[in-house]
Amino acid sequence: MIKIGDIVQAYSTALSEMPIGIVVGFNQKGEGGKDYVHVLTDCGEVEVFLSEVLVVVDKDLHENRDYKSL
């Protein structure tokens, strides 16, 4: 489950770039709730993504260069 403060990366065939960022919030209950995730991306903008296109980045995997399926 994604939570505020997690580092996430978006994966979607609709996106030309795969932004990475920090989860800063969610939509309100009744407006999609945790299905819509607010992410402060690496380009400095807060963008809203569907939770199903986000993957939590495991810091240990990247440090060890072990790129198994997240």
Q: 46 or 67, which is more confident?
A: 46
Residue 51 belongs to some domain of the structure: yes
Model pTM score: 0.75
Residue 2 belongs to some domain of the structure: no
Residue 1 belongs to some domain of the structure: no
Distance CA 63, CA 70 (A): 14
Residue 66 belongs to some domain of the structure: no
Name the residue among 69, 70, 44, 51 with its Cα closest to residue 10: 51
Residue 48 belongs to some domain of the structure: yes
Q: Which domain holds residue 55?
A: 7-59
Q: Please tell me the total count of domains within the chain.
A: 1
Strand, helix or coil for residue 49 = strand
Residue 64 belongs to some domain of the structure: no
Beta bridge partners of 20: 9
pLDDT tens for each residue of 5-38: 999 998 877 767 788 999 999 998 887 778 899 9
Strand, helix or coil for residue 55 = strand
Residue 29 belongs to some domain of the structure: yes
Residue 35 belongs to some domain of the structure: yes
How much is the pLDDT for 22? 95
Name the residue among 58, 41, 55, 42 with its Cα closest to residue 9: 55
